[in-house]
Chain A
Amino acid sequence: MSSAVGNDSRLGPSRELRQGKAAIRQDGPPKGGYPKVTYKGNFPVRGPGATAILATTGAVMAWGFYKVVVGNKQRRADKEEKKLARRNIVPVLQAEEDARYLARKAQLDKVEGEIMANVPGWKVGASVYHSKRFEQNV
């Protein structure tokens, strides 16, 4: 484009170009300038809204509480059924245990009688306590 000497592109366009003889290719704004910058926020109102959200939350909670109450009643009924079944069986179990106890006590008294046969004044099966209340020891 120009002579080799004195042509350093770091210094910008050469003299003839700066005088407008030819269009300078430069980076610059587009024709008509840049469009306006929207710096204001763009937040359109959308979604259900606060009242609807609160109402839904309240409804869900109310339904949940209702289910809890119903569930608790059912659990109480289940527990009561279990307790009633055990209550019905208590006499049978107690009778079985009493029979076992008496049989075992008779066995032990027999052995005690054999061991202490020659001891004068020994009462077989007598309680070692002065109290009259029943002391279980088998």
Chain B
Amino acid sequence: MSTESASGSVLLGANSFIAQRCSGINAQFMKCKAQNSDPAKCADLAKDVTDCAAGVIDFLQKTAGPQFENYVTCLNNNNQEFKACRAEFSALNEAANGKASQ
């Protein structure tokens, strides 16, 4: 699944998971961008970033599909305001990370 089909609410809904799992590669990519204005020089890292994010969304859809969809729908219906969707987010957290943690 590529991120091209991920809408804004999907990315925002997954943002904490993307930060959790892809922080390393994201930081590397941003460092590369800061040093090189030509995008061709950071093309490999860009691909890794996209793959990592796509993997996170994939993981969320596999392990917590209904909860993730609920959360994204809630965000869509509430102007992408996080405080309107706390219940859905905690359900998603429980499902994605397992009941033991979070």
Contact = CB atoms under 8 A, between A and B. Distances in A.
The answer to whether A and B belong to the same complex is yes
Interface of A: 78, 81-82, 84-86, 88-96, 98-99, 101-102, 133-134
7 contacts: A85-B16, A88-B18, A88-B26, A90-B30, A92-B50, A101-B39, A133-B37
B29 A85 contact: no
Contacts of A96: 3-4, 50
A129 B26 CA distance: 32
B16 to A, nearest CB: 7
Given A88-B16, A90-B30, A91-B29, A99 B46 contact: yes
Contacts, number: 67
Interface bracket on B = 20 to 34
A95 B53 CA distance: 10
Contacts of A81: 82-83
A124 to B, nearest CB: 15
A94 B50 contact: no
B12 interface: yes
A134 B29 CA distance: 18
A102 B19 contact: no
The 5 closest A-B pairs by CB, nearest first: A95-B46, A134-B37, A98-B39, A91-B26, A95-B49
A92 B37 contact: no
A82 B82 CA distance: 8
A106 to B, nearest CB: 10
A35 B15 CA distance: 89
A78 B47 CA distance: 32
B40 A92 contact: no
Interface in B43-98: 43, 45-47, 49-50, 53, 81-83
A95 B50 contact: yes
Contacts of B50: 92, 95-96, 99
A69 B38 CA distance: 46
Given A90-B30, A91-B49, A98 B43 contact: yes
